[in-house]
Structure formats: C-alpha cells, structure tokens
Amino acid sequence: MEKNTIFAATKTRGMKKKLHLISSFCLAMVIAVAFLSCSNEEETFSFDDDGVPVATAQQRISEEQFNAMVNGAGWVETNTHEIYSNGDFDKRDYWDGMEGVAGPSRYSLNDETISEFIFLESMAKMGCNVKSMRYDASTNTIYADGKMALRIISVNNGWMQAVKLGGVAYKQRTQSKSLYFYVTLRRMSAEEKSDIETFQ
C-alpha cells in the first residue's frame, strides 16, 4: 500500500512537471508570435542618401551592445519581407512558394568574421560564404567584406530585427535596383551554431 502511495505521488509530480514545461513552452510561443506580429505590422521605412532603408523605430546599438548581444552568436531568419520603394513592406513572407529554389539565411558571427549559410534545395546541400566583418555603430550596420549585410533595427531577448541587403532585382536589361528585406532573426542555441559551422 505504501509503495503504491509513493508511486502515485511520484507520478503526480512528474505529470505536474510535464504540464508546467508544456505551459511554459506555449506561453513563450505566444509571446514570440505576438512580438513578431506587432513589429511586422507597425514598421515603416525611410531611405538614407545611399538608398538603404532606415526603420522609423530603429534602436541605437553601441559597439559594446553589439559585441554583448549579437557578435559571437548564430542567427537564423524566421521572417523575410521585401521592402518597397514607398517605405512599406510586403506582408507575405518572401520565401513562401519558393521551395526548391532558395530559402532563409543562417548566420554565424565570430569576432571579425561573418558566415552566411543558405540551404540549396535543388542541390540538396548547404552553401556557405565566410567574409570579414565590421560593425558601424553610427548606423547599426554589419559590413561583410566592406559591403552592407545587415542593418540592425532592434535586439531583444534572443530576437533581432534588421534590414538585409538581398541582392539586385532586375526590372529591365538596362535597369536594376538593390533588393532589401525586413527580416526577423532568432538567436541559435550553442548546439545549433556548432552544427551549422560544420558546413564551413
């Protein structure tokens, strides 16, 4: 009888622990979704003299803050939206419907280098570009080999929002413009970062 009582009590504690973990996970997901939704819906952009989008709600991120919160970590894109020339952005995710072509980037920042990883579905392999990195605190801009890679809008609790240079969009044979994205990135765990770096 006593053994049954101990077993029942242990089982109850185990169930409570599982329920607590599930509840915590669900709450974290709700907070993350709410954070992303609000930010995505409310953000607007102007453009600097070089035509690079500047968020109206951009935080100032010092070099010390950058090194403490961003540098040394891995980051993965969770939302990607094209920024239009009028300062608005496409509410649809850029990669929707593009399976098999390309997809969101992953980044590993290590002191003075930045590695960008892209899974090439058509070739079933991970592509990687490793470049020198410099951070300009006056504009929150991360440069890769001297070219803008990301301009940070905000960093908060393992999430980062930024403007990303996505390449060049060709309108006609003689006309082109830089393609910019409004991206949300999640900080990777140490294990995720270690795993992705095996593709370097």
DSSP per-residue codes, 64-118: HHHHHHTTT-EEEEEEEEEBPTTS-B-SS-TTTT-TTT---EEEEEETTEEEEEE
pTM recorded for the entire structure? 0.75
- List pLDDT tens digits, range 65-103: 999 999 999 999 999 999 999 999 999 999 998 766 678
- In angstroms, the CA 90 to CA 85 distance is 11
What are the residue ranges spanned by the domains of the chain?
1-42, 44-199
- In angstroms, the CA 167 to CA 43 distance is 22
- In angstroms, the CA 106 to CA 124 distance is 16
Judge: domain 44-199, CATH 2.40.128. yes
Output Rg (C-alpha) for the chain, integer angstroms: 21
